[in-house]
């Protein structure tokens, strides 16, 4: 899982903040860089093809490797090919080609995420899921370090195309891991099948085995409709508010991240300084924040730490606003980045725990794909306009704007916390206890 987590994390920054730094170095406008961030929307819509990955076998490869490993290997090869394509293009003259190859990388990366999540859930029983998740996150963070600091070092000592070729070669780690691991066993519980039969009946499917159209509609009902029916049935009146919170919780963090590297470069910091402070030192602060977030969940439950994470992320964006009006100081940069990564680590670990608590084990892969897709979609859409705000109003007001985008998430957490308290207080007492 460490190696698979590394493979999952490697492409993310290469189509996000590291790519922003490359485009900034090439002299592209901040508005165009902001538009490039929309490539990341691919991660936010993976729920649309997650059911296909979950149920559709690949010719020849699935028979040879199994369903999970075959999809993983194809996705990893696609990522490597896309990175080589980006490295081979001239950023200034072939900007469209770079964008298309970046889109290939993002699509294959999102596909890999869906498959690895499904593999992680199916490979071991429930008592080992915590260990699987922990090792996956560790590998993912190592990959972010490689795609962040590693790419910056390679670019500083050589060039950005060489850096991206180096990142493409690191995808071999995931490919080897995919070939080494065993295909997990899959089974559908009786309760899951009964729910699917009820949903099939509700949508008018009487005999799912009769005719090609009936088989397709039955497949669509089981793979796509049933997971959503189960979620709304289980959460009742709070379901829409929960989905709204999922969509807005990361907005403040992701919106700021689009312009982070251009901001550091515009302040006058070198690539080496950025790598040292924001990537390596920031890496350890993120790990510390994630560990602290886990402890807070154990001690106080989920909702209060979830509120703390939302507030901290918004407030740290205001620290960047302070940095924008202060002469460049490496120590102040280290302090602000430390606060940002610590708060981001807390918010992320608590948010993952919250998403996990919302997932039904019968539909973990599909529902988690829904949550993780929705988690970044509004943020990516808003992030695309980041460059316009910076070009029009400057970094100070951009970071104030990024902090303000965190207010809706804070209010939604407060609402759901009070709603949960109301439900608990109104629940009937059973058995005289």
Q: What's the pLDDT tens digit per position in 21-42?
A: 888 888 888 888 888 888 888 8
- What's this model's pTM, rounded to 2 decimal places? 0.72
Contact 111, 49 (CB under 8 A): yes
- pLDDT tens string 322-349: 988 888 788 888 888 889 989 988 888 7
Contact 309, 351 (CB under 8 A): yes
Percent of the chain with pLDDT over 70: 87
d(CA 53, CA 118): 10
Mean pLDDT of the chain: 83
Contact 261, 273 (CB under 8 A): no
Work out the number of other CB atoms within 10 angstroms of the CB of residue 369: 26
Total residue count of the chain as it appears in this document = 433
Q: Is the pLDDT of residue 127 over 60?
A: no
Work out the number of other CB atoms within 10 angstroms of the CB of residue 197: 16
d(CA 61, CA 399): 48
147-184 burial string, b = 16+ CB within 10 Å, else e? bbbbbbbbbeeeebbebbbbbbebbebbbebbeebeeb
Q: Which CATH architecture has domain 1-184?
A: Up-down Bundle (1.20)
> Check: CATH 1.20.1250.20 for 236-420?
yes
| Alpha-carbon distance values, 303 to 122, 240, 244, 348 (Å) | 28, 17, 15, 13
Q: Is the pLDDT of residue 424 over 60?
A: no
pLDDT for residue 213: 67
What residue has token string 């807070």? 296
Q: Is the pLDDT of residue 423 over 50?
A: no
Contact 364, 121 (CB under 8 A): yes
116 is written with which tokens? Answer: 């690895």
- pLDDT tens string 83-110: 999 999 988 888 889 999 999 999 999 9
Fold: same for 1-184 and 236-420: yes
- pLDDT tens string 261-311: 888 888 888 878 887 787 677 778 887 887 788 778 878 878 898 999 999
d(CA 341, CA 346): 9
- pLDDT tens string 368-412: 788 877 887 777 777 777 888 888 888 899 999 989 999 999 999
Work out the number of other CB atoms within 10 angstroms of the CB of residue 318: 15
**Where along the chain do its domains lie?**
1-184, 236-420
d(CA 170, CA 80): 9
Sign of CA dihedral 67, 70, 76, 82: negative
């Amino acid at each position: 899982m460490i190696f698979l987590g590394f493979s999952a994390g490697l492409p993310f920054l290469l189509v996000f903040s590291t790519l922003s730094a490359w485009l900034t170095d090439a002299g592209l406008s901040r508005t165009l860089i902001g538009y490039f961030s929309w490539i990341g929307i691919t991660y936010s819509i993976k729920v649309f093809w997650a059911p296909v990955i979950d149920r559709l076998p690949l010719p020849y490869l699935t028979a040879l490797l199994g369903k999970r490993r075959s999809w993983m290997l194809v996705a990893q090869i696609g990522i490597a090919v896309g990175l080589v394509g980006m490295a081979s293009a001239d950023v200034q003259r072939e900007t469209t080609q770079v964008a298309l190859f970046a889109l290939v990388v993002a699509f294959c990366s999102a596909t890999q995420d869906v498959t690895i999540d499904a593999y992680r859930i199916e490979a071991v029983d429930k008592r080992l899921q915590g260990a699987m998740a922990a090792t996956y996150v560790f590998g993912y963070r190592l990959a972010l370090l490689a795609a962040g600091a590693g790419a910056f070092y390679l670019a500083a000592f050589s060039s950005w195309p060489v850096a991206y070729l180096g990142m493409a070669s690191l995808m071999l780690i995931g490919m080897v891991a995919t070939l080494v691991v065993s295909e997990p066993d899959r089974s559908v519980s009786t309760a899951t099948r009964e729910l699917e039969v009820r949903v099939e009946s509700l949508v008018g499917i009487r005999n799912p085995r009769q005719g090609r159209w009936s088989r397709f509609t039955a497949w669509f009902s089981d793979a796509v409709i049933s997971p959503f029916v189960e979620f709304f049935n289980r959460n009742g009146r709070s379901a829409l508010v929960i989905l709204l919170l999922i969509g807005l919780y990361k907005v403040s963090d992701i919106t700021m991240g689009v312009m982070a590297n251009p901001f550091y470069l515009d302040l006058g910091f070198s690539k080496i300084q950025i790598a040292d402070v924001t990537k390596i030192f920031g890496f350890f602060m993120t790990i510390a924040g994630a560990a602290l977030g886990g402890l807070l969940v154990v001690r106080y439950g989920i909702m209060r730490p979830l509120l703390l994470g939302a507030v901290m992320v918004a407030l740290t964006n205001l620290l960047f606003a302070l940095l924008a009006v202060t002469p460049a100081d490496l120590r102040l940069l280290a302090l602000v980045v430390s606060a940002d990564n610590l708060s981001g680590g807390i918010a992320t670990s608590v948010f993952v725990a919250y998403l996990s608590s919302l997932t039904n084990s019968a539909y973990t892969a599909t529902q988690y794909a829904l949550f993780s897709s929705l988690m970044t979609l509004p943020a990516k859409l808003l992030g695309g306009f980041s460059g316009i705000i910076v070009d029009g109003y400057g970094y100070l007001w951009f970071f104030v704007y990024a902090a303000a985008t965190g207010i809706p998430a804070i209010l939604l957490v407060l609402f759901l916390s009070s709603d949960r308290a109301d439900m608990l207080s109104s629940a009937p007492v059973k058995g005289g206890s």
